[in-house]
Structure 1
Amino acid sequence: MKFYNRETELEALSKMRDLSFKEHSQMTVLTGRRRIGKTSLILESCKGTDTVYLFVNRGNEAALCKSFAETIVREFDIFVPEETSFARLFTFLMELGERKKYNLIIDEFQEFFYINKVVYSQIQDIWDRYRKKTNVNLIISGSVYTLMNRIFKEYKEPLYGRADSLMKLSPFSTNVIKDILKDYKSDYSNDDLLALYTFTGGVPKYIELFMNQGATDIETMVDFMIRSESPFLSEGNILLIQEFGRKYGNYFSILTAIANGKNTIPEIEEALGDTSVTGHLKRLEEDYELIKKKRPIFAKEGTQTVRYEISDMFLRFWFRYFIKYNDLIESQNLPLLADIIKKDYPTYSGLTLEMYFRQKMMESHEFRNIGSWWEGKKSTEQNEIDIVGIYADDKRALVGEVKRQRKNFKPELFNAKVEAIRKKALFKYEIETKCLTLDDM
């Protein structure tokens, strides 16, 4: 798949490279979930300039340094001393920056935590001594969010404050997802687009896997995902077990409950056998950034009317189907799993369609606040509104109901809900109402 989008990120990386080469060395730290395209972005930004790319595999430090030395020799055709510690090799690379302007990429940087934690303080010392007299564009990348945050954002850590630029890569926007699908299927339907959004959330690697297989509609996407050799089946484990560590079971149970509609604390605790989950939810939200709170729009921070949702679209799907029906995966009854997903898709994609429209509204930059609205802890259909957007002028509000098909829209019921929110929350706003369907994507 060709390189798409990322103009803003490429411009930022280009500015850092120019500073590194014209003034002195700069350190950029790029984070983001696995498969989000960090390495592709970095390599694209370095095209046409001298570059050394080092990938940190967890293992023996001496063996890693030997591999790195071979990479440097291959790229620059220079003598590299045989080193068994990364600190000495990093010193050599910084000294090289006194006579050569180049990009130094260190990918999966958090893995040093398991190889040799002392490396971080060693790098800090070497960087502080050489950065002002060298021209190295140092780009550090990592996928384990909690560790990367700890390494660079906790003030007690040696590399705290050393990064000149901190970037977090996000999934593709809705418009980019459209562009990619159009390139591979010019006559795509909006249901094809919704399926691609539902299963990937805009994560580049997942989109690439589908496009390379010619999977451009709900049927072929599901069939590809549930093949016995499919990378999707174990993807959640690969993404999360390293983040959570040995206690991943509790987190998996909570995420599974949320993915299956248990989205309040009492519901989640009941699903886990009346186990207290407050601390786990706090860590999932603040440390791992895997879930987020939903409050009725305009509700105060401390309100008890809170629901939780999984913020990563792919993981939302993975926990809903691949964990819930893991027995079918283990028994290789994959055709049954495919059938379950396809039959449930109209209902499930109705929920993701709402998330699609919220994201599309956010990307438009027309709104200062976007959310939902409901009354009380136990919402009912009569007092819940899917989408409420407050325009930037703070004078107008958009109130929307989301349906896959317009024939399922009930105007009288919707108007009653609009009147309820008008009286209780939007009395000072001019209200615009919409029924948003597949046709509006």
Structure 2
Amino acid sequence: MHKFYNRENELLTLKRVSSNLEHSKGQLSVMVGRRRVGKTRLLNEAFAAGSHRYLYFFISRKTESSLVDEFAQVIRSELSAKFFHPQSLRDIIEFLLEYAKTQPLTVIFDEFQDIDKVNAALFSELQNLWDSYKTSAMMHLICCGSLFSMMVKIFKGKDEPLLNRDDRFFRIQPLQPSYIADVMKDHQQFSAENLLIWWCLSGGIPKYLEWLTVFSQESEDIFEAVISEFSPFIKEGTHRLVEDFGTEHRVYFDILGAIAKGNTSRNKIENYLGMGVGLHLEHLDNNFNVISKNRPITSKETSRDVRYSIADPFLKFWFRFIHANKSAVEMENYTYIRRHIQRDFEVYSGSELESLYRAILIESKQFGRIGGYWDAKGQNEIDVVAINDLDKHILIAEVKRQHKKYNQQKLIEKSQGLLQKLKLKDYTVSYHGLSLDNLQEVMAAPPGLEPGSIA
């Protein structure tokens, strides 16, 4: 998957800002997106072949002096500054701003939030330097980070030195279903069943799609390749989360493991683990963006009727099948894990088909609100409720792997409580069965506003 998919708007904007620096002077862009989502690739696409001079610095969690040495070397070779010997990161930023007074320059700091671990005082120093040079330096400064809450805090937190210094804020999301389908078609792998499998294994994250395209050429059975000693998927969950979670990673992993096994309420998670998890759930939701809080679409934000789920389909799969079999992984007993997948994947992927369909409806841009519903007793569950308040339309759908299992009459009966609670007068309602059988049809033309367009 070396072709570059999607991100056209981001590419154009980044290029436009960097080519206009002589007029605009200092511009600060913030780019946020989870690890592996393709931020570095996007920046590379934007600047590598272009005429804009750009420098890329990765903030790894080292001592300041070793980062200074590393960055100084880059500057000496890229900007022909043979005699540049900085003492601190502040010296480096000041030198680059000074340089940009005479030459347009794009500077990228990746994993910018980790400056906090290297030298937290640097945020204030950067603010002072930026404020004094912004109107004279032709610099496009791009601060890139993978921890959403930290990056928001740095640039939007009311007592933070860099508050509102950003000129634009990019949030890089995983690829949407139509782009996953494009990748698969380009590698002759597309079918409805395969799309569901690739959704479960990638969640639209470009790096994972890249791995899957390679694996799909090597093996008829994708799980043979994904669950094997040479597969990067086996350790990926650990690689992606351990560093962010820090010393408490075991507790967080236990909670995510419990959610992956179907313990979706706080009460169930606490009973399963035998400990209180309130604070950890807050962190997983707000600081790490790893879990989602789901409430019935009729509920207020403050409602306590919350079900937790792992937000990223790949991590959900990883905790459900790989982390849950840690001992088998240790013993390199991959056959055992594959048997576990063989036994449970059909049921598991049935519920993931729901998240795939929601993503398809989100991508269709037809609805202002999309969610699910269950009543106070946790019954009369409805998989998908999508509301378009502009055209006064409600779409109510049941998701099944096989279309023949969909019963429209039953769905209409189940929806009565939902419609009473929504209290939406003069709205048209359409009922749909969404399955693997009509997946391609729905992707080509998502259920529109006329009742019963795809029944």
Q: TM-score range by the shorter chain?
A: over 0.9
Q: 1:63 to 1:422 in 2, by over 3 A?
A: closer
Displacement of 1:422? 4.1
RMSD: 2.1
Q: Paired residue for 2:357?
A: 357
Q: Paired residue for 2:437?
A: 439
Is the counterpart of residue 202 in structure 1 residue 199 in structure 2? no
Matches of residues 337-376 of structure 1 in structure 2 within 5 Å?
A: 337-376=337-376
Is the counterpart of residue 226 in structure 1 residue 233 in structure 2? no
Q: 1:93 to 1:220 in 2, by over 3 A?
A: farther
Separation in structure 2 between the aligned mates of residue 129 and residue 425 of structure 1, nearest angstrom = 53
Counterpart code for 2:106 = N
The SS at the match of 2:280 is helix
Counterpart code for 1:134 = A
Q: Paired residue for 1:311?
A: 311
Counterpart code for 2:181 = K
Q: Paired residue for 2:36?
A: 35
Give CA-to-partner distance per residue, 1:300-340, whole Å, 9 cap, x none. Answer: 23333221111111111111112211111111111110121
Contact 2:201 2:317 in 1 (8 A): yes
Matches of residues 175-186 of structure 1 in structure 2 within 5 Å?
A: 175-185=178-188
Displacement of 1:162? 1.9
2:134 to 131, 138, 145: 131
Q: Paired residue for 1:402?
A: 399
Q: 1:61 to 1:302 in 2, by over 3 A?
A: closer
Separation in structure 1 between the aligned mates of residue 218 and residue 368 of structure 2, nearest angstrom = 34
Separation in structure 1 between the aligned mates of residue 105 and residue 237 of structure 2, nearest angstrom = 36
Q: Paired residue for 1:321?
A: 321
Q: Paired residue for 1:261?
A: 262
Counterpart code for 1:121 = S
| Length-normalised TM-score, structure 2 | 0.90
Separation in structure 2 between the aligned mates of residue 244 and residue 426 of structure 1, nearest angstrom = 43
Contact 1:389 1:398 in 2 (8 A): yes
Q: 1:423 to 1:24 in 2, by over 3 A?
A: closer
Contact 1:256 1:323 in 2 (8 A): yes
Q: 1:80 to 1:56 in 2, by over 3 A?
A: farther
Q: 1:286 to 1:215 in 2, by over 3 A?
A: farther
Is the counterpart of residue 86 in structure 1 residue 89 in structure 2? yes
Counterpart code for 1:288 = F
Contact 1:222 1:342 in 2 (8 A): no
Q: Paired residue for 2:452?
A: none
Separation in structure 2 between the aligned mates of residue 435 and residue 125 of structure 1, nearest angstrom = 58
Paired positions, count: 435
1:60 to 63, 82, 87: 63
Q: Paired residue for 1:286?
A: 286
Structure 1, unaligned runs of 5 or more: none
Is the counterpart of residue 121 in structure 1 residue 119 in structure 2? no
Q: 1:238 to 1:407 in 2, by over 3 A?
A: same
Separation in structure 1 between the aligned mates of residue 8 and residue 231 of structure 2, nearest angstrom = 31
Separation in structure 1 between the aligned mates of residue 232 and residue 377 of structure 2, nearest angstrom = 39
Separation in structure 1 between the aligned mates of residue 27 and residue 390 of structure 2, nearest angstrom = 40
Structure 2, unaligned runs of 5 or more: 440-455
Is the counterpart of residue 333 in structure 1 residue 333 in structure 2? yes
Give CA-to-partner distance per residue, 1:101-152, whole Å, 9 cap, x none. Answer: 1211111223322222222222222222212111011111122334333332
Is the counterpart of residue 100 in structure 1 residue 103 in structure 2? yes
Counterpart code for 2:335 = P
1:391 to 343, 366, 388: 388
Separation in structure 1 between the aligned mates of residue 145 and residue 372 of structure 2, nearest angstrom = 34
Displacement of 1:376? 1.9
Contact 1:56 1:111 in 2 (8 A): yes
Contact 2:260 2:320 in 1 (8 A): yes
Separation in structure 2 between the aligned mates of residue 144 and residue 427 of structure 1, nearest angstrom = 38
Counterpart code for 2:285 = E
Counterpart code for 2:296 = P
Counterpart code for 1:168 = R
The SS at the match of 1:367 is coil
Is the counterpart of residue 417 in structure 1 residue 417 in structure 2? no
Counterpart code for 1:397 = I
Displacement of 1:411? 4.1
Separation in structure 1 between the aligned mates of residue 258 and residue 247 of structure 2, nearest angstrom = 20
Displacement of 1:424? 4.8
| Length-normalised TM-score, structure 1 | 0.92
The SS at the match of 1:434 is strand
Separation in structure 1 between the aligned mates of residue 183 and residue 83 of structure 2, nearest angstrom = 43
Displacement of 1:238? 1.9
Is the counterpart of residue 251 in structure 1 residue 252 in structure 2? yes
Displacement of 1:172? 0.4
The SS at the match of 2:309 is strand
Displacement of 1:366? 1.0
Counterpart code for 1:17 = S
Contact 1:16 1:26 in 2 (8 A): yes
Separation in structure 1 between the aligned mates of residue 413 and residue 9 of structure 2, nearest angstrom = 43
Separation in structure 2 between the aligned mates of residue 59 and residue 435 of structure 1, nearest angstrom = 53
Give CA-to-partner distance per residue, 1:160-217, whole Å, 9 cap, x none. Answer: 22222222211001111111111111x6211111111111100111111111333599
Counterpart code for 1:261 = G
Separation in structure 2 between the aligned mates of residue 89 and residue 279 of structure 1, nearest angstrom = 39
Separation in structure 1 between the aligned mates of residue 34 and residue 319 of structure 2, nearest angstrom = 17
